[in-house]
Structure 1
Amino acid sequence: MSTTEHDAAVVAALVEDAVTAPSMHNSQPWKFVFSTDTGVLAVYGDPVRTMPVGDPDNRGVHLGCGAALFNLRVAAAHHGWTARPTLLPHPSDGWHLADVVLRNTESPESDLSALYPAVRQRHSSRFPFSDERVPQEIIDELSAAAVLEGCLLTVPGAWHTDTVMELVHDAELFESADASMREEIAAWTRTGRAGEGPSTEGIPSSAFGPRQFGISAPTRDFDTSHSVRDRGEAVFEKHPQIALLGTAKDGPVHWLKAGQALERVLLQATSDGLATSLMSQPLEWPELRSFARDPNSAAGFVHMLLRLGYGPSGAATPRRPVDEVLSIR
């Protein structure tokens, strides 16, 4: 096998791991282009996989691609390579999000390779969590993981947690009153309806989790039309344990950093035996997002709300095959 063929095979394996990252409604808004001449893997956002209603600024696209970029770095370290990203290498091209220089090395980054087992284990869990509190030492470890990527992870106090959960429930009301938002979400769910999109993308009914019994759940219900039969109901935790991931500034480069920090935190949480889910609902409404930030935190802009705890792991969601997202030139 030639060096070029070997590099291409390794890159395909790296991308296969990269795309296990979370993305808004599992839209998988990424494209990869590898140059065999330079050893550079370019990461692009995919303009046909955007959410014009829920993500008009494409912040979610950047978060998802940033998360995939972090998985790529972890997978590279696992395979004995280094992956050195340059964010937004060509500012005139807003869809060219990163260039990653790949090099074989005798000293892979051990802190990244240690996270590799969690890459395939991490899934969003839309199940109830127990009332067991996450130990402070684990919270500190997750906060440190975010700092390594230039972001802040904060755990709000009781009053601010209540405020954030009220924002989640307000967002549910906003969503129920907005036909365009409901249609956009429905376009990325897979319940067996006629005319749905490919089964390799979107949120399948197997990942919906149970319906909330009683009050609103801390997880998004992707089946508001109740079209999935025999789904079951469950009582969710009364006081969810949440964390806010944010940055001091708000722009494309900060979104990409936040995406990498998000995935680093999620992989570390998975390694620590935690179940996790993401709550982006109030962040999709400009009139609600600003109220999500903790006024005592240096993170002026919140990019994701995380729910942490102990409970069942979520179901895996599908991914497109590598040959659909990777081009080798």
Structure 2
Amino acid sequence: MLNPLATHAGARRLITAAGAAPSVHNTQPWRFVVRHREYVELHADPDRRLKVADPRGRSLHVSCGAALLNLRLALRVSGHRPITWPVPPAGDGSPTLLAAVRPASAAPASAAEHALYEAITTRRTNRQPFTGRSVPRAVTDELSRAARMEGADLVLLDASASAVLLEEVAAAEEALTRDRDYRAELARWTSGRSHHDGMPPYVQGLRPVGDLAPVRDLARAGGERVRFEAHPRLAVVTTPGDGPADWLRAGQALQRVLLVATVHGVSASFLNQPLDLRDMRHRTDPRHPAGHPQMILRLGYGPAVPCAPRRPALKLLGMA
């Protein structure tokens, strides 16, 4: 089967899929280089890192990991097996290089792999109120398996643990909103001035009522306030370690979980304020029995929402 990197059209298709991944505040902190039409390099874009909220680069790596999973899936449905190096290949010492992926011959993709690939374009971060409908156990079990496939875990919290975590989220958000630099950085990505990145008002959702709401308020002025679900279903993506390789692994696990959720009609959004605050205070995370928390998810059933803006593939892609 023809190597998809052999043509510009094939390379653009791969990068379009990779660039549709979720990222912190939709910063899209990635770029890609096709080397010798043989393999694709995933690079971090340091100019898009949140220097205030993400001093360690953890969120940047998680975001890039999500893009890497999409790239792998796009190669898989092209009839290839993605051989991935999570470290630079020999002889390349680029400080921004996070991974390289080479296509290899393989059997055709399965129906399940095609379904996940198709979910790339329909996945959304949903900041609207969810219904009270519970996510079935069979679906949450499949979400957990998806995380384990990428070397991470999805810890599903019960009602009591979710309530405690919501209090931690509220306390962290209160602390973050007192930080002037944090507010300015958030405003940069939520002002709606760009047509290709950030979080314009149409994807920010509605303003919540109460201090323990399961979504970020995003510091919007005015606007309608509504009540969200009283008992949100929360889950945490964890990894065995807490270094760059673990963060990249967490992003791949996160995206596989989100795509499986999308296939099942389950919506998701994020509540990472406690993790942002931890990173901003330069605190190391002691190892918990379930691993190191990397992402906090809210799961449920929500209304259809629009897609966040995306940078064109040609702006993400370089050839060498």
* TM-score normalized with structure 2 length: 0.91
Tell me how far apart the structure 2 counterparts of residues 19 and 120 of structure 1 sit (CA, whole Å): 10
Specify the alignment match of 1:306 in structure 2: 297
Question: Are the structure 2 counterparts of residues 263 and 26 from structure 1 closer, same or farther at C-alpha, using a change threshold of 3 Å?
Answer: same
- Per-residue displacement from partner, 1:67-87 (whole Å, max 9, x unpaired)? 001011111222222222110
TM-superposition CA deviations, 1:194-229 (whole Å, max 9, x none): xx4x3211001000111113444211122x141xx6
Q: Secondary structure at the match of 1:220?
A: coil
Is the Cα contact below 8 Å between 2:167 and 2:212 reproduced in 1? Answer: no
RMSD over aligned CA atoms reads 2.5
**Aligned letter for 2:36?**
T
- Structure 2 CA distance for partners of 1:59 and 1:292, relative to 1, 3 Å: closer
- Aligned-partner SS, 2:7: helix
1:269-316, Cα deviation, whole Å (9 max, x unpaired)? 010110111111111011899899995x431x1000010001113321
Query: Counterpart of 2:158?
Result: 157
Aligned partners of 1:100, 1:241: CA distance in 2, in Å? 35
| Structure 2 contact 80–106 (Cα < 8 Å) conserved | yes
Partner in structure 2 of residue 181 of structure 1? 182
Mark the CA change 1:315 to 1:8 in structure 2 (over 3 Å): closer, same or farther. same
Is contact 2:237-2:294 (8 Å) kept?
yes
Once the two structures are TM-superposed, the CA of residue 63 in structure 1 deviates from its matched residue by 0.5
C-alpha distance in 1 between matches for 2:124 and 2:245 = 26
8 Å Cα contact 1:282/1:289 also seen in 2 = no
* CA distance in structure 2 between the partners assigned to 1:271 and 1:3 by the alignment: 28
Question: Aligned in 2, Cα 1:240/1:290: closer, same or farther, shift over 3 Å?
Answer: farther
Q: Which residue number in structure 1 is paired with residue 247 of structure 2?
A: 255
User: What is the match of residue 47 of structure 1?
Assistant: 46
Map 1:50-61 to 2 at 5 A: 50-61=49-60
Code of the residue aligned with 1:312 in structure 2: it is P
Distance 1:4 1:250 in 2: 34
Relative to structure 1, is the Cα distance of residues 207 and 5 closer, same or farther in structure 2, using a 3 angstrom cutoff?
Answer: closer
Partner of 1:119: 120
Give 2:67's aligned amino acid.
Answer: A
Match of 2:62 in 1: 63
Identity of aligned residues (%): 36
Which of 310, 315, 318 in structure 2 is aligned with 1:324?
Answer: 315
Give the 3-state SS of the residue equivalent to 2:120 in structure 1: helix
CA contact (8 A) 1:73 1:112 kept: no
Aligned pairs (5 A) from 1:164-203:
164-191=165-192, 196=193, 198-203=194-199
Counterpart Cα distance in 2 of 1:21 and 1:32: 14
Structure 2 contact 75–82 (Cα < 8 Å) conserved? yes
5 Å-filtered alignment, 1:264-275, equals 264-275=256-267
2:205 to 182, 198, 209: 209
Listed as ranges, the gaps of 5+ residues in structure 2 are: none
**2:277 counterpart (262, 285, 310):** 285
User: Residue type of the partner of 1:236?
Assistant: F
- SS of the counterpart of 1:199? coil
Measured in 1, the distance between the counterparts of 2:61 and 2:106 equals 28
Q: CA separation of 1:272/1:247 partners in 2, compared to 1, >3 Å: closer, same or farther?
A: same
Q: Is the 8 A contact 2:33 2:319 kept in 1?
A: yes
Unaligned runs of 5+ in 1: none
Partner Cα distance (1:248, 1:190) in 2: 36
Aligned equivalents of 2:75 and 2:305: distance in 1? 26
